[in-house]
Structure 1
């Protein structure tokens, strides 16, 4: 029996998730839950399009079907803490979040701990002894070094490299082409700008940019 999937959010990470679901034989994408687009609108510019099928309030009705699961594609860079709080407020049981792994992603079986609702996009890679918590997203060609920890609702963008023994806090986003030095700690709900080279710990709720990365501002929620 096919697992039926609904995606929370919109295009971007949502369509990457949809493209992975297309490759998995026992998964069927029902559509998107989206608060801003009209119900019935089709998302996607080319041949593969997917309809908006409901709002946040409709999720409990969908989940009455024991074969229906959820993937969260929330990636609001302007305020990840607000998106995190929105997801938590929905009260979805963690076992109803589905993991999505592209066939080209490298996740060493038996060597890593992976939570619920995690996406491994094409060519993303984990080293052994890494932990990836619930609702994290590793975008194409991203790398997480050995003995590193990624707390829930965090994301690593395309072509970024995270060294060994790094602690990535809750709700962190690491921008494209960033490099994180080994043994660095990145605080909760912080943002690493694209192309940045992080050599020192980053406090909570901070935006860091540059090479070497410096604090640009504090995120106020």
Structure 2
């Protein structure tokens, strides 16, 4: 893969995601689900559980919602119209799970992405709007409208909370795994998040200690 400079909050983040999806699609025709993770993510369940959850889902996991105010509708650029209208504008977390069909749509998109690349600049944050808007336009009923990545925004600011070594406890991990409720294939479940972030590198030793007991890792 060619090296390209990627800047936080810049449309280059979406360009990088599209390149990653293109390589993953071409790498193996049997790849069915595509999940974006970062170096600060940790898995909350073992691989068989994660794999089963993804491949048996009838929906993709991507937030796509209409948010009033400066950080939602306020980021829309009227020059995007008529290709992307204000009514179609959506927001969501950049941490996604896509099926193969939607991943192919993202890579093949020559209609909407050029508009984002031209007009979604500076404080627009394309990575929070491109996929949610594309999904709303192309497959509005396909998404569970939630992310599989748990993050803590309760401390305020433009970035979620970061967790250090001593904040990783057995009780905290158990809560991450089953402390919420959501729907999965139309049924209520307490398995809502498969991953969590942002965990600093020094937390690894705690995960290695607790993983066999709490998360079922060998």
Q: Which structure is higher in helix share?
A: 2
**Larger of the two Rg values belongs to structure:** 2
TM-score with structure 2 setting the length: 0.23
Between the two structures, name the one with larger relative contact order (CA 8 Å, sep ≥ 6): 2
TM-score with structure 1 setting the length: 0.23
Q: Which structure is higher in strand share?
A: 1
